[in-house]
């Protein structure tokens, strides 16, 4: 149920609010919607399309990853096969953590068991770690292969050019600052502290309650002892 709700919200965001999430080329027929654009964050990218190639059903989607990304974990979707295509780099790529790699996942390829007709929404999720490059725009060229023909969504707008003017713009995301991510961690820390305070207060109340019960029990015991001694003295005086 949660997955269905998330997919519905994702589809709505892809058609109405991509610019607000840091995306350009929102008019493209192949979109990429991230759940976060914070630089350095682990993001879930939703790739979606709902059209064919001028009347020919779609049977394959080849998603190219921008070079700052070295890997992606694609979703397994029923009715589709998925492949991670690894490429050897001409020169080692230095990562944000200082390490270097000579190979990377360059493409994610989804192939349909049954081609998707025009007017039906299809989407795939990929998990990636975004690079620490705030303000940088990452392009994800997508080759849409159909039963007849193909469309290469790979056009990159020049500086100052409106991406909506392009015939086949590549889906892009623009990395933002990590402030929101930091606030979330801070809020989580504050929540944890509050929970600890509540637990401490609860333990204190329990201890106080236990002490009160103990004192009441002790008082009742003393009263019983006094009553017993009084009864004994009365019995002896009566016999005397």
Q: Which residue has the higher pLDDT, 192 or 61?
A: 61
pLDDT for the residue numbered 11: 41
Give pTM, 2 decimals.
Answer: 0.64
Categorize the per-residue pLDDT at 170 as very low, low, confident or very high, splitting at 50, 70 and 90: very high
Q: Which two tokens stand for residue 175?
A: 């990395």
21: left (phi over 0), alpha (psi -120 to 50) or beta: alpha
Residue 12 has pLDDT above 50, yes or no: no
Euclidean distance between CA atoms 9 and 31, whole angstroms? 14
pLDDT for the residue numbered 28: 39
Euclidean distance between CA atoms 131 and 102, whole angstroms? 17
What b/e readout covers 185-202, taking b as 16+ CB neighbours within 10 angstroms?
eeeeeeeeeeeeeeeeee
Residue 217 has pLDDT above 60, yes or no: no
Q: Any idea what the Cα angle at residue 155 is, between residues 94 and 167, rounded to 5°?
A: 160
Give the contacts of 80 (CB within 8 A, at least 6 positions apart).
110, 111, 112, 113, 124
pLDDT for the residue numbered 223: 55
pLDDT tens digits, one per residue of 128-139: 999 999 999 999
pLDDT for the residue numbered 176: 97
Beta sheet of 42-49, edge-to-edge order = 30-34, 42-49, 122-129, 73-74
Which of 3.30.2020.30, 3.40.50.920, 2.60.40.2230, 3.40.50.2300 would CATH assign to domain 2-177? 2.60.40.2230
Give the contacts of 24 (CB within 8 A, at least 6 positions apart).
137, 157, 163, 169, 172, 174
Residue 48 has pLDDT above 90, yes or no: yes
> Residue 147 — φ and ψ, nearest 5°?
-55, -40
Q: Which residue has the higher pLDDT, 6 or 73?
A: 73
């Amino acid at each position: 149920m949660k997955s269905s709700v998330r997919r519905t919200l994702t589809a709505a965001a892809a058609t109405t609010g991509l610019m607000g999430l840091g995306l350009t080329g929102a008019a493209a027929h192949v979109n990429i919607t991230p759940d976060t654009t914070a630089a350095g964050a682990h993001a879930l990218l939703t790739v979606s399309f709902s059209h064919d190639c001028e009347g020919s059903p779609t049977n394959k989607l080849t998603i190219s990853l921008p070079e700052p990304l070295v890997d992606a974990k694609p979703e397994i979707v029923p009715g589709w096969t998925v492949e991670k295509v690894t490429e050897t780099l001409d020169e080692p790529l230095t990562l944000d953590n200082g390490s270097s790699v000579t190979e990377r996942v360059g493409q994610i390829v989804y192939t349909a068991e049954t081609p998707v007709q025009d007017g039906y929404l299809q989407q795939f999720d990929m998990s990636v770690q975004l690079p620490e490059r705030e303000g940088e725009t990452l392009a994800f060229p997508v080759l849409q292969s159909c039963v007849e023909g193909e469309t290469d969504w790979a056009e990159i707008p020049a500086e100052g050019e409106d991406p909506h003017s392009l015939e086949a713009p590549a889906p892009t995301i623009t990395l933002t600052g990590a402030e929101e991510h930091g606030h979330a961690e801070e809020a989580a820390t504050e929540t944890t502290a509050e929970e600890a305070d509540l637990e401490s207060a609860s333990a204190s109340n329990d201890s106080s309650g236990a002490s009160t019960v103990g004192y009441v029990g002790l008082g009742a015991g003393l009263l019983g002892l006094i009553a017993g001694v009084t009864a004994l003295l009365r019995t002896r005086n009566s016999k005397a």
